[in-house]
């Protein structure tokens, strides 16, 4: 049974896994500026709950990646989590690894297209 999905702190802070401590500090500061709660642009994009969740994740990411011991433990957990999610690459059926009742790769792609089209429609309506 797969464990809980781990947030990828490297993606969150937009740094490479081999980033230096200074790179992590700079990325953390940039992320904090981007998601500042008193920024009108940020406040209009996110509600309070979502903004607090993002800021909490940024804090956790910085706390974990800036400490060498925590970072090594996190890297090991992240590697284990990613290896649990590797596709099985069977040439006959790209969806043969899916659990019964789980969405297939094709249905996922259709959902992504539907969401993008819906988002575009909403944006077009707002612009008019």
The pLDDT of residue 47 is 78
**Number of neighbours of residue 60 by Cβ within 10 angstroms:** 15
User: How would residue 3 be classed by pLDDT, with cut points 50, 70 and 90?
Assistant: low
The residues spanned by each domain of the chain are 9-89
Output the pLDDT for position 97.
46
Helix axes 68-84, 48-65, angle to 10 degrees: 110
Q: Please, are residues 11 and 19 in contact by the beta-carbon 8 Å criterion?
A: no
Residues 6+ apart with CB under 8 A from 15: 23, 24, 27, 65
The pLDDT value given to residue 42? 60
Mean pLDDT, the chain, integer:
73
Name the superfamily (CATH) of residues 9-89: DnaJ domain (1.10.287.110)
pLDDT tens, position by position, 17-76: 999 999 999 999 999 888 876 666 666 677 778 888 889 999 999 999 999 999 999 999
Mean pLDDT of 9-24: 96
Share of the chain above pLDDT 70, in %: 55
Displacement of CA 87 from its chain's centroid (Å): 19
């Amino acid at each position: 049974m797969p464990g809980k999905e781990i947030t990828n702190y490297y993606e969150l802070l937009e740094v490479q896994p081999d980033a230096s401590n200074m790179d992590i500090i700079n990325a953390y500061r940039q992320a904090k500026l981007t998601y500042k709660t008193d920024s009108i642009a940020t406040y209009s994009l996110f509600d309070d709950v979502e903004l607090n969740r993002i800021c909490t994740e940024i804090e956790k990411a910085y706390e974990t990646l800036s400490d060498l011991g925590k970072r090594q433990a996190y890297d090991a957990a992240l590697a284990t989590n990613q290896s649990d999610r590797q596709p099985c690459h069977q040439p006959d059926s790209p969806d043969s690894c899916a659990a019964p009742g789980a969405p297939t790769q094709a249905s996922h792609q259709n959902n992504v297209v539907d969401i993008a089209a819906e988002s575009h429609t909403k944006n077009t309506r707002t612009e008019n």
